[in-house]
Amino acid sequence: MSAPGFGENAEQLRRATVQVRIDEGRSASGSGVIWNGQGAIVSNAHVVRGENVEVEFWNGEVVRARILKRNARRDLALLSTDRPAPAAARWADSGRLIAGEQVLAVGNPLGFIGALSRGIVHGVGPFRNLGRQDWVQASIRLAPGNSGGALADSSGAVVGINTMIAGSIGLAVPSSDVAKFIDRPAAPVLGITVEPLSIQLNSRPAVDLRIQQVMLNSRAHFASLRPGDVIIGLDGEFFSSPEDLEDRLMIGGLVHLGFLRDGKPVAREVAIALGPEEPGRLAAAG
């Protein structure tokens, strides 16, 4: 029996890719990839902003989905439909990709269901101005709606989750990072989103983190953190990159948080829970 050709691989990818919609179908948000036959679906965290999520399978069936967990920093989300999925993706190790290799992307850009594009891998690794995280970097045509969809090798095995375009380069979360996200039983919950602020500390570059949002009834909310506060350190240590905050939070337990409010230093002790990140409303500022 001959190996599947390009058309068969593309069709398998389409069947393993879903459209993700928010607020009961009133807005198409992006795409997702069926992780396994038990109904687990991987997408981007920025795609599933909201509580009412539904997915549409390749056969037109629409079902409600619930968010099992999210990781906003890695921009990944895991959904469950609590029912067997009609198809599931095959996955491959993104670490085996080489520059020049052909890749395929399937998603739902601009309302076109199951759109396919082809491109070439540039490499796998960090991308300028995006921290230390690895990305599958490829010259491939993507558009709004591709986010959360599959990036696959020439055999049709998924090697990444398409996330964004940087210039003319498509960036996808490597499948190796997706697997770690799926297998990790818990994620740190603090309940804030932050933006990095570059500073100079003792003649070396450092980072402060300004709080943009605080979720209602989160650990940060109960610790009286507010949007506009600038986190300057954790447990007496400063940050060399935005990732340092989550790396420390993964340990859990009680942390000593130092921050600036209106230019004045403030300290708080915060108990960090390990568990799924639940979407919620923003706490009022002030």
Residues involved in catalysis: 46, 75, 147
Backbone φ and ψ of 114, nearest 5°: 65, 30
CB within 8 Å of 131: residues ≥ 6 apart = 241, 242, 243
- Alpha-carbon distances, residue 76 vs 7, 70, 72, 162, 209 (angstroms): 28, 6, 7, 10, 21
Return the bridge partners of 266, or none. Answer: 259
Instruction: Find out whether 270 and 245 touch, Cβ atoms under 8 Å.
Output: no
Find out whether 268 and 223 touch, Cβ atoms under 8 Å: yes
Which amino acid, residue 210?
A: R
Residue whose token pair is 């297998």: 183
Q: Report the distance separating Cα 168 and Cα 260, nearest Å.
A: 38
Provide the H-helix boundaries in the chain.
6-15, 175-183, 219-222, 243-249
Paired tokens of 49 = 């902003």
Q: Which residues contact 219 (CB under 8 A, 6 or more apart)?
A: 189, 190, 191, 270, 271, 272, 273
Give the max Cα distance, the chain. 72
Strand 169-174 relative to strand 40-43, pairing: unpaired
Alpha-carbon dihedral sign for residues 216, 220, 222, 226: negative
